[in-house]
Amino acid sequence: MPFTHPPDSSQSPPSTPAQSLLPLSPPSPPFLSPSPSSKKLHRESWNGSDSPYSFDGSRISTLNEKFSLAPDPRQWGSDLSTDLVEPDDEIHNPDYQLDGFKDTHDLSFSRRGAPRALGSNKVHFTSLGYPVMSYLRKTGLLQPPFNLGGTNATGQVPSMGNFGLIDEETPEDARFRISSRDGSQLQLVFSDEFNTDGRSFYPGDDPYWEAADLHYWATNNLEWYDPAAVTTKNGSLVISFSQMQTHDLNYQGGLISSWNKFCFTGGYVETSAMLPGVNDVVGMWPAVWTMGNLGRAGYGASLEGMWPYTYDACDVGTAPHQVLNGVPYAATIDGDPSYGDALSFLPGQRLSRCTCPDDTRHPGPKHDDGTFVGRAAPEIDVFEAQVWLRASIGPSIFALIAIPLTGHR
C-alpha cells in the first residue's frame, strides 16, 4: 500500500463554475460568448482568463514543436469543451422548469419524443431493464455475465475514492502512517486487500493489475509467466509455481504489475507476503518490487538504457560502461569478467541530461538552463528472496538498484 504526503490544504484546487442547462431559443443569453479560437458559442466558464492556456504563446510548452497536437485542445480542429452549446443539447440535456408541463423545452411529452420512445427497444431497456437489473443485483438474484451490469464476470468494479484508489476493506487505522524520516504524516493513496476470491488478472480484467504472459529472459528464468498462475483465494493474492510443459519450458509461474495503471512518486510501500517452498529447496525467486514507469518489467526494449539509471547529470556516468575514451581507468578493471572487467555493463543512459537540445527522442521536461532532465527507471526491492544451495538458507535482500555505480560490486 503506497503512502504519500497529503496535498497542501493551503492550496485550494481551482473551482469549476456552476453550469446551467441552457435553452437554445434566440436571443442568446448575455453570458454566452464566442470562443476566441473557434468563434463557437460557449458558456462563461471558458471566457477570459479562466482558460488554463494562453493564446499569446507564453504558456505553451515546447512539446508543441515535437508533437502533432497543440497543448490547447481547442486548437485541435474540434471543440472539445463541455461548455460548448450544440444544436442537440435539448435532446439529451433538457432544461426542465418547475412548471414542466408548460415549459416549451420539456421533452417528456413532445410529439417528436413520444413515438421514438414507444418504438425504441433501447429506450425501453434503459427505462425498465436497468432498474430491474439493479434490483436483482442488490438482492443477489442476478450474477451478471461479462459487461452486463458489471465490469466483468468476477464483479471487479473499481472503487475510486477522493484521495486515490483505496480498497473499501482497508481498515481506517491503516490509512495513515508517520514518516520515519521527518515525522510527517503520510496518507494512503492506493491499497488492495485481495479479499474477493477468484479474481482474474488477464489483460483487461482488472483495473489495477495485469498478469504477464511472457518468458522473463533477462534473468534467465526457467519458467513461463502465465496469467493462469495468478488469482485470489482466502483473502490473499495467490501466485502458483508449477512443474509443467508450457511454451517449450518446464515450469509455469506468475507476475503481476501495475504498469501504466497506477503510479506514484515517493512515499512508503507496505505489503504482507508469505514466501513459497521451504528453506532447503532452491530455484524460486519471489519478490515484491517497484520500478520507474518509463520501463516495463519483462519488456527488454523498454529497459535498454533505462534500467536502473537514476541520474540527472551530464558526465561520464551516463556513458556506456561509465567510461569515455578509457577514462576513468578504475571503471575498466576488476569489474564483471563477462564484460571485459568493466564496472558497468550497461549501454549508457538513454534519456540523459547530456541529450542535445534539439533531439526529439527525449520527451522532456527541461531544466531552467535548457538542458533535459535525466530520466530513467530505477528499481526498489521491497524484498527479493532465494535459497542458497550450499548453505541451505533463505536470505532476503532489501535494496535500491541504481546506476551509475560508485564502486566495485
pLDDT at 386 (0 to 100): 86
Contact 71, 61 (CB under 8 A): yes
Nearest by Cα to 43 from 71, 82, 1, 14? 82
Is-contact 185 178, C-beta < 8 A?
A: yes
Sole residue written with cell 555493463 = 345
Q: What type of residue sits at position 372?
A: F
**pLDDT computed for residue 54 by the predictor:** 42
- Label residue 313 exposed, middle or buried (CB < 10 Å: 0-12, 13-18, 19+): middle
Q: Give strand ranges (E) for 229-364.
A: 230-233, 236-239, 242-246, 249-253, 256-257, 268-269, 287-291
How far apart, in whole angstroms, are the C-alpha atoms of residue 310 and residue 290?
14
Residue spans of alpha helices (H) in 223-327:
300-303
Q: Pull the grid cell for residue 262.
A: 497506477
- Residue pair 43/22 in contact by the 8 Å Cβ criterion: yes
- 89: exposed, middle or buried (C-beta count within 10 Å: 0-12, 13-18, 19+)? middle
What is the DSSP secondary structure assignment for residue 125, as one 8-state letter?
Answer: I
Neighbours of 62 (CB within 10 A): 12
pLDDT along the chain (409 residues), means of 10: 60 37 38 46 45 44 53 65 69 52 47 51 53 64 49 54 70 92 91 93 93 94 96 95 96 95 86 84 89 93 92 91 82 77 86 92 92 94 86 78 71
